[in-house]
Amino acid sequence: MLVAERHQKIIERIEDKKIVRVNELSQLFSVTEETIRRDLEKLEREGYLIRSHGGAVLNERRESHDLPFEQREIIHVKEKRQIAAMAVRFVNQDDTIILDASTTAWYMARILPDMPLTVVTNALKVAAELSSKKKITVICTGGTLLTNSLSFVGPLASEALDQYYVNKAFISCKGMNVERGFTESNEQQALVKRKMLEISDQTFMMLDNSKINVQTFSKLASLEVANFLITNQALPVELEAKIKDHHSGLQMINSSQMNH
């Protein structure tokens, strides 16, 4: 197993269990405890966890920071790819769509078929990914580049979005809470995504299960703005009922439904 793969597995494990122990990880990955301690040191520097005696705990405040794209793209990879595959099925020839600067949208860009389509994005990685697809017209907002997320934000990005109307927006965010709605960790990202929601006829919110029932720093929008909620797995029955109470028109889509 490559070091990067081991780090990804450690991140996924601590996000799931909230705590990890050095000796357990050493046995799990068949490496020395010293190797695991070095792994945890690196992941602590990157903001994922806080080391404790004999192990580490999840850094609960990590969402208040915009993690670098290369770190986000190795978290919950399977789930994001599942969501991207479902979302692409809603894109039709000659659509005009928005892809935001999320890693889920990037995974979506990677598998979009090369067909007549217009894509508006504030994501450097999405634009680069689509550049080899000759039939797709790519419009990049410009603006102030955030080096962590490789995305454009600020007044220029918002003003650029004001020039367009699109059929569909495919948006991810850091959390969804029934009462608080959709939230972001970064206020500048929230402002741009809010504008994306305003100029779209239909909104597809894409959230893996780690973001459900999570509230982060900056309010993005209420549940009512979304037409579709795409998740990698079905939500708990009680939570789905609460969401329907708030927004009866929201269509919830997950992999089990799409496979039937």
pLDDT in tens, 106-117: 999 999 999 999
CATH number at residue 44: 1.10.10.10
Is residue 92 assigned to a domain?
A: yes
For the chain, first and last CA: distance in Å? Answer: 34
Confidence of residue 13 (pLDDT cuts 50, 70, 90): confident
CA distance 100 to 220: 13
Is-contact 112 131, C-beta < 8 A? no
Is 185's pLDDT higher than 90? Answer: no
Is residue 20 assigned to a domain?
A: yes
| Mean pLDDT, the chain, integer | 89
Q: How far is CA 133 from CA 73, 110, 124, 125, 148, in A?
A: 22, 10, 15, 14, 26
Is residue 65 assigned to a domain?
A: no
- Domains in the chain: how many in total? 2
Predicted structure pTM score = 0.75
pLDDT digits (tens, 9 = 90+) for 78-108: 899 999 999 999 999 999 999 999 999 999 9
Kindly state the average pLDDT of the residues 61-74: 56
pLDDT digits (tens, 9 = 90+) for 192-238: 999 999 999 999 999 998 888 888 878 899 999 999 999 999 999 99
Is-contact 201 235, C-beta < 8 A? no
Same domain, 28 and 95: no
Q: What's 175's DSSP letter?
A: E
Q: Which domain holds residue 218?
A: 70-258
CATH number at residue 135: 3.40.50.1360
